[in-house]
Amino acid sequence: MEKIVSLSKRRGFIFQSAEIYGGFRSTYDYGPLGILMLRNVRNAWWRAMVQTRRDVVGLEASILSTPKIWEASGHLANFTDPLVDCRNCKERWREDQIGGVCPKCGSTDLTEARAFNMMFKTFVGPVEDDASVAYLRPETAQGMFVNFKAVQQALRLKPPFGIAQIGKSFRNEITPGNFVFRTREFEQMEMEFFVPPLEAQGWFEYWYKERYAWYLGLGIPESMIRLRHHEAEELSHYSAGTVDVEFDFPWGWGELEGIANRTDFDLNAHATGSGEKLDYFDQATGERYTPYVIEPAAGATRAMMAFLIAAYDEDVVADEKRLLLRLHPRLAPYSVAILPLSKKPELSEVADRVFRIVAECYSTDYDDTQAIGRRYRRQDEIGTPLCVTVDFETLTDQAVTIRDRDTTEQVRVPISELMPSLSAKLGF
Ligand code: ATP
C-alpha cells in the first residue's frame, strides 16, 4: 500500500489535496498521469456499458438538486451511518466497522450509536434558510430514476434498456481512509437497467457476471477478485438480490462494485413523490407496468486504485531490479512513449514527426532526457506498454524500434508501418 501511495505521488498520479496547507481531510487531487488513467477507467466502463451496446444510453444529471428527490428516495431518512464516540479518546467511529472497541485507544466505553446523515448540505441562493437547503448528490443513480420518463420518451426506448452515468458523488463519511478507497468526494459509474418484472432475476444474474468479467478483462487476476452474494439479512430494504464484486486490497477484501435488483422501489418512490406516472405502456401487449431496475454501481476512483494495486510488480531485468505497472493497455496513462536516442536536432526532428503521427491516435509521452535505460525504467514505472526508440539508423533506414514493457523485447519496424504495428500490439 505504501508503495502505491508513494509511486502515486512521485510520478504524478494522485496527490494529497492542499498538501502545502497540510492537506484537507481525505481529499485527493489527480495529477497529470492520474487524470489520464482515471479517464481511461471511465472510458473503458463507458465503452463496455454504453458504446458497444444497443440497449444502454448515457446521461449527465446535475449534482445539486431539489431535496424532494432525497426525500422520495429515502436518503433524507435513511442514508445514515451509525456514529459512536469513544468516551476515552473522543474519536468518532462507524459502529458497524469497529466491533465495539475503539481502534485508536482500545477502550470499549463508547456512546450509544446515533444515526448520522451522510449527505452534504448547502444553500442555494443568497438566503441561508430551510427553504433554500439543497444537497450534493450522494450517488448518481437518482438522476437516472428522475429522468426515466424523459429519456424513455425522447429515445422511444422499450424495456429492457439502461441509462448510464459517470460523475462525482459526495458523502460525509465518518471514517474516510485507505487512500482513495473511501473519500468524501469520489466518482461513480452507475447504470440503471429497466426491465419487465418477470425478467429481473435473469438480468440480475447477467449483469453481475458481466461486471465481474469486465474487471478480469482489464487485467485484474482471478485470485484478487470475487463475487459475494448478500445474505437475506444483509439486503437493503428495496433489494431482491445484491452481489458485490470484491477486490483483495492490502488490508483485506473490499467492495469495488455492487450489483442489485432494486425491484420497482425507485420508480414507485419517485412516482409517489412527484405525482408523475413512472411506468411503461407496452403497445404490443396492451400491458402497463412499472419496470424493475437492475443496478451495477461502481466507483471510478476506487476501481482505479484496484487497477494500480493489481498492476504493481517488481522484477529483475539485466541484473537490475525494476519496478513496473503491468497495466492493461487501455488503462495505462500513456499507450506509447517516443524516445529519441539523443537530443541532436536531426533525431529530434524525426522523433517529433513520429510523435505527431502517434499522438493523433494514442496518448503519447515524449522523453529525450537521460540514458535510454533510465527512460525505459521510467516508462515501466508508469505502465507505458510500448516505447518507440528513434536512433541514428532511423535517419537512413526510416525505421524505429518498438520495445515491449512486459517482455522488454524489441522489434524494428519501418515508420510507414508503425501505426498498424502499435495497434496490433496494444489491441486497439
Ligand atoms: P461502502 O459499503 O464501501 O460504503 P456502499 O455499499 O455504500 O459502499 P454504494 O452506495 O453501493 O457503496 O456505491 C457504489 C460504489 O461507489 C461502491 O462500490 C464504491 O466503488 C463507490 N463508493 C462508494 N462510497 C465511496 C467512497 N466514500 N469513496 C470512494 N468510492 C466510493
What is the pLDDT at residue 214?
A: 98
Q: What is the pLDDT of residue 318?
A: 84
* Shortest-distance Cα residue to atom 19 of ligand 1: 299
Check pocket membership of 299 for ligand 1, CB cut-off 6 A: yes
* Side chain identity at residue 202, one-letter code: G
Q: Which residues does 274 contact at the CB level (< 8 Å), separation at least 6?
A: 68, 72, 146
> Does 258 contact ligand 1 (Cβ within 6 A)?
yes
Residues 109/100, Cβ–Cβ less than 8 Å = no
Closest CA relative to residue 41, chosen from 275, 303, 217, 338: 303
**Domains by residue range for the chain, with CATH:** 30-68+137-308 (3.30.930.10), 334-426 (3.40.50.800)
Report how far residue 130's alpha carbon sits from residue 125's, in angstroms, rounded to the nearest whole number: 12
Rounded to two decimals, the pTM is 0.96
Nearest to 181 by CA among 243, 251, 237: 251
* Consecutive H or E run containing 170: strand 161-170
Pocket test for ligand 1, best of 95, 188, 230, 256 (most atoms within 8 A of CB): 188
CA of 204 to the centre of ligand 1 (A): 19
Side chain identity at residue 254, one-letter code: G
**Each residue's pLDDT expressed in tens, for the chain with a length of 428 residues:** 999 999 999 999 999 999 999 999 889 999 999 999 999 999 999 999 999 999 999 999 999 989 999 999 999 999 999 999 999 999 999 999 899 999 999 999 999 999 999 999 999 999 999 889 999 999 999 999 999 999 999 999 999 999 999 999 999 999 999 999 999 999 999 999 999 999 999 999 999 999 999 999 999 999 999 999 999 999 988 889 999 999 999 999 999 999 999 999 999 999 999 999 999 999 999 999 999 999 999 999 999 999 999 999 999 988 999 999 999 999 999 999 999 999 999 999 999 999 999 999 999 999 999 999 999 999 999 999 999 999 999 999 999 999 999 999 999 999 999 999 999 999 99
Check if 403 has its Cβ closer than 6 Å to any atom of ligand 1. no
139 lines ligand 1 (CB under 6 A): yes
Residue 330: CB within 6 Å of ligand 1?
A: no
Q: What does DSSP assign to residue 291?
A: P
Question: Residue 173: left if φ>0, alpha if ψ -120 to 50, beta else—which one?
Answer: beta
Characterise 169 by phi-psi region: left (phi > 0), alpha (psi -120 to 50), beta (else).
beta
CA-nearest residue, atom 27 of ligand 1 = 182
DSSP 8-class letter at 366: E
**Ligand 1 centroid – CA 306 distance (Å):** 14
Q: Is 138 in the pocket of ligand 1 (CB under 6 A)?
A: no
Instruction: Ligand 1 pocket test: pick from 120, 168, 186 the residue with the most ligand atoms within 8 Å of its Cβ.
Output: 186
For residue 298, give the ligand 1 atom closest to its CA: 15
What's the pLDDT at 382?
A: 98
Ligand 1 binding pocket includes 50 (Cβ within 6 Å): no
